[in-house]
Every structure is written in structure tokens, then in C-alpha cells.
Structure 1
Amino acid sequence: MIVVTTENLPGYRVRDVKGQCFGVVVRSRGIGGNIMAGLRSIVGGEIKEYTSLLEEARRHAVDRLVQNATMMGANAVVMMRFDSSEIGQTMSEIVAYGTAVVVEPDPA
């Protein structure tokens, strides 16, 4: 599955647009991670526990996006974007979304 943030794929043409597709993940850091992150926030700098959490959540959201697009019969996703929000004080929602399409090599 080709997943890009651009509108077009060089060397391909869009044969069919299947529609919008998305992958959603909601993650929460455990109490140990929250304590470590709280301690790190006192001294400043990167909070690696949360960086790791969000990187993993983005990967899972893209995996779910690909599953959704595949079920729709697409072989590519164009205009992929991420969105995120907080749920309560301990959970993060990550959404990967885009347009599921069928592409084919451009003969030109």
C-alpha cells in the first residue's frame, strides 16, 4: 500500500477514488510512565516516555488506515494527514486520515 501526504503520485495516475479512510488509536501512559514524565517535566527537556507513546500511536494509526483502505479496495492513500487530541488528562487520540484511491502506473 502506497501512503503519501501529497495529492499526486509521480509515475502513477488515479483510476478510482474510493473515499475517505482513517485509522484511530487512543493511548494512555501507565502510572509509572506518568510519574517519570512528571519528574522529567520539572527539569525541562524532552519527555521521552510521551514521545515514544505518540510515535507508536502514529504507527498504529497508519496501520489501521491501511487496513481500512484495503477493505475499501484501494491500493494507495493520498493526502494522508494526522490529527491528535487529548481525552481527559491521561489519554491521547491519534487519527491518520486520507483519501483511499486505486492507482495504476502512468503509461506516459
Structure 2
Amino acid sequence: MGTNPPTKRSNTMTPINQSPLVMLRLTQVVQRTGLSRSTIYSKLDQNSTHYDSTFPKQVRLGRGSAVRFIEAEVNAWLEQCVYSSRAVSTTVPQSLMVQSALVAGRCGQ
């Protein structure tokens, strides 16, 4: 009746899904979103009036200055922008219209 020894935990991250992680350069994010570089940096800057907590965060690669954005997060943000811009109608409850308007403001509308 011995107990099993504890298993050693790995320090490597296990992917949530099996699809490959695609990283985008800033120039690619500019192309996909239609936003300028300065607007993207403003959306990332917590001290900016244009700060958007829902905008995808940069991923630093190594110790240098190289950063990338995760494609799936950029796509999800864009989809939310489309959804929020089309969700405002007379059939949407007032609370959702306010929330949608806030998100739409974050999406550059």
C-alpha cells in the first residue's frame, strides 16, 4: 500500500490548443487593424487617454527589444470590434448598448 512518489513538474508551458502559435510583427498588426503605429502604442499605454485594456498585449522575445503580437488575440480583438459595431440596435438592452459603445470607442470608432 505504498503511495506513488510525486511527479516532477515541468517548467515548460503546455499549449492550450494544438494549433501553432503565430506571432505578428507590429507592421502586420498595423496592416490588419488599419491603425497607425502611434495609435497602437497609445492603446497599450496605460497613461494615454486612448488606452484600451482589451487591446492585445505585446510579447517580448528574449532580452532584446523584439516584440510580437499573438495573431489569435489580434483576430479576437478585431472580431469584437465588428461585433460591437453591429450589436447596437433597438432590440439590444440598454446595458448592452452602453457596454457596446464603450468597446466601440476602444476599437477606434
Q: TM-score, normalised by structure 2?
A: 0.27
Larger radius of gyration: 2
Structure whose residues are more often strand by fraction: 1
Structure whose residues are more often helix by fraction: 2
